[in-house]
Amino acid sequence: MLSAGLILFLAALQGVTELFPVSSLGHAVVVPPLVGLNFRETDPAFVPVLTVLHLGTAGALLFLYRRDWARIVAGFFRAAVRGRIDDPDQRLAIMLVVGSVPAGIIGLLLQDPLKTLFGNPRLASLFLIVNGGILFAAEMFRRRDERRRAATEPAHAVLAHEDGDPQFARIEGLSLRTTVFVGIFQAGALLPGISRSGITMAAGLVAGLRHEEAARFSFLLATPIILAAGLLELPALGTDSPTALVAIGAAIVAGVVAYASARFLLRYLRSGRLDPFAYYCAALGAAGLVFIH
């Protein structure tokens, strides 16, 4: 049984790392042994605790984008009944469904075999380095696009900010085919160390989204998956689960921290890039490989 203090620590860790492109699962597997916490990821209480934390994070995302979700849900039902897409809200709703289904199916089929990886912090460390490489590669492609743009259209090259630059699109500019590919890649986040938000942000950048829009796309796409992962694991809350008070407290901590993290990340990405997260993942992964035996 996990202690209440450890559960609250995991809640704060989950809240920060679920939405940052640094893999919450990778952190939950690598950080405890790295800082010397007496904790096994194969503990029967681990999955129920993660479930509760996922519900807190999903609640934060729903709150953050509550107006978007109201329009998206209404748009989905209108589009589904009419059998056609009439406005941007309906298109976004269908894109999110199309992007979520591949990850959902792959996740369901591979979930149990991949759970054995939770007990292998060194492998998770390796995947963290891979995650850093994915983020770095996405920024490398983006810089190449920017240089190419500067060479061909010098008038636009002086723009210091992506806002207002027609080259870099909003979510509504993505094709459904791109969304399906992003959805498939999202399933890579089942591997501890590979970040769901990292993969979707990287794919969004490569597809030509602005940084802030790539994060918005990532958060909207993550919400149904995180919510479903939490709800589908609810029956696993059995005798090994934390007490109701600790569970509610952990969900609130995870939710509040996730909300603050998302707001920070959205603001940061108005002018920042993903490189710091890439270096961080590589450093944490390397530390895990060196210090965990």
- 154 binds another protein per the rule CB under 8 A: no
Which one among 102, 104, 193, 288 touches another protein, defined by CB under 8 A? 104
- 176 binds another protein per the rule CB under 8 A: no
73: phi then psi, degrees, rounded to nearest 5? -65, -45
- Residues 124 and 208: beta-carbon distance below 8 Å: no
Residue count (the chain):
293
Structure-token pair, residue 140: 């490398």
Q: How many other C-beta atoms lie within 10 A of the C-beta of residue 194? A: 23
By CB under 8 A, which span of 56-64, 107-115, 255-263, 265-273 interacts with another protein?
107-115
Structure-token pair, residue 229: 């992962």
Neighbouring-strand partners of residue 169: 209
- 169 binds another protein per the rule CB under 8 A: no
Q: How far is the CB of 83 from another protein (least distance, A)?
A: 4
Count of positions on this chain that bind another protein (CB under 8 A): 15
In this structure, what DSSP letter does residue 171 have? G
Which one among 36, 38, 66, 84 touches another protein, defined by CB under 8 A? 84
Which CB atom, from 63 or from 77, has the smaller least distance to another protein? 77
- 105 binds another protein per the rule CB under 8 A: yes
Give dist(CA 19, CA 57) in Å, integer.
9
- Residues 42 and 114: beta-carbon distance below 8 Å: no
By CB under 8 A, which span of 100-108, 130-138, 163-171, 237-245 interacts with another protein?
100-108
- 184 binds another protein per the rule CB under 8 A: no
Q: How far is the CB of 262 from another protein (least distance, A)?
A: 26
- Residues 104 and 167: beta-carbon distance below 8 Å: no
Q: Which residues contact 36 (CB under 8 A, 6 or more apart)?
A: none
- Residues 129 and 281: beta-carbon distance below 8 Å: yes
Which one among 12, 101, 130, 157 touches another protein, defined by CB under 8 A? 101
Q: How far is the CB of 53 from another protein (least distance, A)?
A: 19
Question: 257-279 burial by CB neighbour count: b if 16+ within 10 A, else e?
Answer: bbbebbeebbebbeeebbeebbe
x-or-dash pattern for another protein, window 246-265, by CB under 8 A? Answer: --------------------
Which CB atom, from 3 or from 111, has the smaller least distance to another protein? 111
By CB under 8 A, which span of 79-87, 142-150, 153-161, 272-280 interacts with another protein?
79-87
Which CB atom, from 157 or from 232, has the smaller least distance to another protein? 232
209: phi then psi, degrees, rounded to nearest 5? -75, 155
CA terminus-to-terminus distance, the chain: 24
Burial grade of 159 (CB within 10 A; 0-12, 13-18, 19 or more)? middle
- 73 binds another protein per the rule CB under 8 A: no
x-or-dash pattern for another protein, window 22-61, by CB under 8 A? Answer: ----------------------------------------
| Binding positions for another protein, rule: CB under 8 A | 79-81, 83-84, 97, 101, 104-105, 108-109, 112-113, 232, 235
